[in-house]
Amino acid sequence: MKKLLILCLVGLLCISAAPQPFKTAETRSLTPEQKTWIAKAARHEKDGWVYLHIEGAPAERGFQYGYLLAKEIAEGIRVRREGWKHTSGMEWSWLVAKSKELYTPKVDPENLAEIDGIVEGMACAGVSTSRDEMVTYNGIFDLAWYWWPQAKRNLGAPSPNPPKQSCSSFIATGSMTADGGIVLGHNTMFDYPEADFNVILDVQPAKGHRMLMQVAPGWIHSGTDFFITDAGLVGSETTIGGFGSFDEKGIPEFVRFRRATQDAASIDEWCAIMKKGNNGGYANAWLLGDVKTNEIARLELGLKQVAFERKKDGYFIGSNIAEDLQLLRFETSSNDVDIRQSNIARRVRWKQLMKQHAGKIDIELAKQFEADHYDTYLKKENPSGRTLCGHFADDPQQFGGGVPYSPSGTFDAKVVDTKMAKQMTFAGRWGFACGAPFDAKKFLEDNAQFDWMAHILKSRASQPWANFRAGEKGNSATGSSR
């Protein structure tokens, strides 16, 4: 009772606090040095994506990032602030204060310098934020999905639901693919209000490896996670469903991901960095490939349970269910045979596709896989939450397992093979992997239970597949690239 009273008092204090909207200010004149920095960076828009190139030392590339994407970053924080308040009942400012205590001290100096550069760049563009808010924003998955449930339990309150099932991915090599090289495909399944991971970030750091990755505006890590590096590494992940372990003494996942992706020259180095200081936050099954050797690997990173496999012939799949039995049984609550559930239905479908197309998998088939609508529970074509191209918003969930007509599901697709990765190139599609549009206004008219999302839920038009490469130049007049 005492703990519940404490929680209620904290909640009342936070809810009664005035909202903390973004502070806008006059844009600042750039110094000669800052003008030199911006001249090295570039942004353009293409087929629903925003492409951003940044380079140089941490503060330099951070400034470029914050200055050129200030509007998008501010909007990203606004949406997460609203989502956090609705789902937790607590104010964003309260979470930022907690993050300042728990997370900011654990961010390494280089990442902090880049974040500080983003803050300064945004300020020059007329948008005010802070180091601690940007750390909170980058670490929101850890904080909202893993730390907050534990914090609520410690206060004697019911815990939130475990992290949502999200993302469908595969990686294949050797006899599985048409040319014997690696083929990787990934799409992200997530809540639509926060479906803003439409930034293709090309980072050329002064030290470390060049990275081409999909990010949310202002994130120094990927989050979805899809990346290519000039060390020959490619990677994606799918969140491990039903996972609830967390160690707040560990290093935030976004910090480890960025260090691993920028610093590692091999799969082994990448995995070693991710495992060091692991806090259990944003627990994922990582699908990795080295295009120098065409070797692939899967790292399932729980908290206490860690599983690693590698091969030069075969495939790995990801659908939000742990494959390692000890991780599955000891650190998740998932039922691995209930095909009514999205993760199990998609796992079955991945195995069907791998068997059906063994020896033929290439980029075009990878695109088809990510847009697949076959429901293995109903055994028919049926776009739903159980299909690889997830359509939860169209799913009444009459078979259980989720919220009916949840505004969530697939909002992108990406594919890459060995040849493309060696050229730091990949193909991506913004919106549903199948190309269908999403009409937010109509959705809310049909589903009034989600009316709290009216100011943060956005429509997405049908978009074509587009190719991206490190160092590409855009035409600011047309938004096209060359």
Task: Tell me the C-alpha distance between 433 and 79, whole Å.
Answer: 23
Task: Give residues with Cβ within 8 angstroms of 278, minimum separation 6.
Answer: 247, 250, 251, 256, 301, 303, 306
Of 155-169, 384-398, 427-441, give the lowest mean pLDDT range. 155-169
Average pLDDT of 308-314? Answer: 98
Q: What is the pLDDT of residue 475?
A: 56
Average pLDDT of 449-456? Answer: 98
Q: What is the pLDDT of residue 358?
A: 98
Task: Tell me the C-alpha distance between 290 and 209, whole Å.
Answer: 14
Task: Tell me the C-alpha distance between 14 and 367, whole Å.
Answer: 46
Q: Distance of CA 143 to CAs 96, 100, 155, 200, Å? A: 10, 12, 16, 24
Q: Using alpha carbons, select from 262, 255, 118 the residue that is nearest to residue 204.
A: 262
Q: Is the peptide bond before 336 cis (omega within 30 degrees of 0)?
A: no
Q: What is the pLDDT of residue 157?
A: 84
3: three-class secondary structure by DSSP: helix
pLDDT for residue 481 is more than 70? no
Residue range 367-386, pLDDT digits in tens: 999 999 999 999 999 999 99
Average pLDDT of 126-146? Answer: 97
Average pLDDT of 421-432? Answer: 98
Query: What is the CATH architecture of 168-469?
Result: 4-Layer Sandwich (3.60)
Q: E-strand spans in 39-198?
A: 42-46, 49-56, 127-128, 168-173, 183-187, 189-191
Q: What is the pLDDT of residue 28?
A: 85
Amino acid at 63: F
Domain boundaries, the chain: 2-17+56-154, 168-469
Q: What is the pLDDT of residue 6?
A: 38
pLDDT range class, residue 24, cuts 50, 70, 90? low
Task: Give residues with Cβ within 8 angstroms of 88, minimum separation 6.
Answer: 95, 144, 148, 160
Q: What global pTM score does this model have? A: 0.93
Average pLDDT of 251-272? Answer: 98
**Do residues 78 and 22 touch, judged by C-beta distance below 8 A?**
yes
Pull the structure tokens for residue 254: 């976004």
Q: Using alpha carbons, select from 62, 161, 191, 157 the residue that is nearest to residue 114.
A: 62
What percentage of the chain reaches a pLDDT higher than 90?
A: 88
Radius of gyration of the chain (CA): 21
Average pLDDT of 26-50? Answer: 95
Residue 333 burial (10 A CB sphere; 0-12, 13-18, 19+):
exposed
pLDDT for residue 227 is more than 90? yes
Average pLDDT of 165-194? Answer: 96
- Which helix H or strand E contains 178, and what residues bound it? none
Q: Which letter does DSSP use for residue 264 in this model?
A: -
pLDDT for residue 4 is more than 80? no
